[in-house]
Amino acid sequence: MKRIDGRSLPHETLEHIRRLAVERVRKGEKPSEVIASFGFSRTAIYKWLQVARRCDSRALRSRPCTGRPRTLEPKQEQQVRRWICGKDPRQYGFDFGLWTRRIVQEMVHERFGVKLGITSIGRLLARLDITPQKPLRRAYERDPRAVARWMKVEYPRLKRYAKKNRGTIFFLDEAGIRSDDPPGRTWSKRGETPIVATSGQRQKINAISAVTPRGEFWYSVYGGKFNAQRFIGFLRDFMRGRRGPVLLVVDGHPSHRAKVVVQYVQSLKGRLELHFLPPYAPDLNPDEFVWKHIKRDGLSKKPLRQGESLRERVAQDLYQLAIRPWIVQALFRAPSVAYILD
């Protein structure tokens, strides 16, 4: 049975427990049984009994904690929290875009005139429930109003339109994949960076895919550059065998907006429509998570063997997604694309 750490309890609670325990022993109960009923260490009660026997019950009272008081006042600590949460160090005149303990240390010194050590800053941040995290990238050119309009107005309208016309909404995206992408994390002895054996031959391949919330998945792997003519070829392959209208959501890549692409879409007479995401908002496209899945659960966990083809590996990983629709459906549960299922 796991014992209770008395340091985790309020002083008033501990005082009440000490008084009850001593009183029960005085009435004839065994000390070991009394302390076990409270979940404390077996030896704790003997110290309480000794103090109560030598002095009186007032010796069991809780006392104010001693120790060095905190350097910053509670209001100042909350000010530090407001500096960091949702803000960027560059907003305060620093030329670095990531928060570090050193930057917080400098700000505390400049604003409050208080010098704290790096370790003290770390304890302060932990006390404020601020932890080190890997940030997400967002482009300066991103328009928050356009993003909000897409999620709250344009996409709900697209869903209603698709339902009315019995169409299917697909999200499409392209990606480049390299054999020398950084590997994922592994465990190793502290201070000793592990080595993962992999192929020294650098390979690169491109892929394109499309997904739906129901788990439908289409993909193609290719080499060379992506352009309008190649995109039209992909669309022909993608539309082969599809009966109902398809509403394809894509980003603003120039090849997606090319005149020849527009002419091809028009030639299908309503079988295919292209709808565009807001600029610089790749996180709104659930198909982006296909590539994260491939790189995180594919190449990073199983590096290429000697002589293995990157093209074949990527094609096999994408095929595994195609036959596992529940994984594709899970991509739509990411916070940034939750609007799709609302």
pLDDT in tens, 29-70: 888 888 888 888 778 778 878 777 777 666 666 666 556 777
Sequence-separated (6 or more) residues with CB below 8 Å from residue 197? 303
Mean pLDDT on 190-200: 72
pTM above 0.85, yes or no: no
Instruction: Assign 271 a pLDDT band (cuts: 50, 70, 90).
Output: very high
Residue whose C-alpha is closest to residue 275's, from 124, 100, 155? 155
C-alpha distances out from residue 184 to 66, 181, 189, 301, 331, Å:
46, 9, 16, 7, 20
* pLDDT of amino acid 181: 67
Which range (57-61, 93-97, 259-263, 329-333) has the least confidence? 57-61
* pLDDT of amino acid 212: 96
Bridge-based pairing of strands 217-222 and 204-211 is antiparallel
Percent of the chain scoring above 70 in pLDDT:
87
Task: Look at residue 195 and tell me whether its pLDDT is greater than 90.
Answer: no
Task: Look at residue 246 and tell me whether its pLDDT is greater than 60.
Answer: yes
Residues 301-329 pLDDT 10s: 566 777 778 888 889 989 999 999 999 99
Class of domain 144-340 (CATH, top level): alpha beta
Mean pLDDT on 202-223: 93
* pLDDT of amino acid 29: 87
Helix axes 228-239, 259-267, angle to 10 degrees: 20
Residues across the chain:
342
Mean pLDDT of all residues in the chain? Answer: 85
**Residue position matching structure tokens 């109960």:** 29
Looking at the DSSP bridge assignments, the partners of residue 206 are 176, 222
* pLDDT of amino acid 57: 63
Task: Look at residue 1 and tell me whether its pLDDT is greater than 60.
Answer: no
CA max distance for the chain? 99
| 102 compared with 310, residue with greater pLDDT | 102
Task: Look at residue 276 and tell me whether its pLDDT is greater than 90.
Answer: yes
Task: Look at residue 220 and tell me whether its pLDDT is greater than 90.
Answer: yes
* pLDDT of amino acid 7: 66
Mean pLDDT on 97-126: 90
Task: Look at residue 196 and tell me whether its pLDDT is greater than 80.
Answer: no
Mean pLDDT on 179-193: 71
Residues 80-91 pLDDT 10s: 999 988 888 888
Instruction: Assign 189 a pLDDT band (cuts: 50, 70, 90).
Output: confident
* pLDDT of amino acid 87: 84
d(C-alpha 176, C-alpha 291), whole Å: 9
Percent of the chain scoring above 90 in pLDDT:
44
d(C-alpha 112, C-alpha 123), whole Å: 18
Mean pLDDT on 239-245: 91
Region at 178 (left for phi over 0; alpha for psi -120 to 50; beta for the rest): beta
* pLDDT of amino acid 277: 95
Three-state secondary structure string covering the chain: CCCCCHHHCCHHHHHHHHHHHHHHHHCCCCHHHHHHHHCCCCCHHHHHHHHHHHCCHHHHCCCCCCCCCCCCCHHHHHHHHHHHCCCCHHHHCCCCCCCCHHHHHHHHHHHHCCCCCHHHHHHHHHHCCCCCCCCCCCCCCCCHHHHHHHHHHHHHHHHHHHHHCCCEEEEEEEEEEECCCCCCCCCCCCCCCCCCCCCCCCCEEEEEEEECCCCCEEEEEECCCCCHHHHHHHHHHHHCCCCCCEEEEECCCHHHHCHHHHHHHHHCCCCEEEEECCCCCHHHCCCHHHHHHHHHHHHCCCCCCCCCCHHHHHHHHHHHHHCCHHHHHHHCCCHHHHHHCC
Domain positions in the chain are 6-60, 74-127, 144-340
Task: Look at residue 229 and tell me whether its pLDDT is greater than 60.
Answer: yes
Looking at the DSSP bridge assignments, the partners of residue 176 are 206
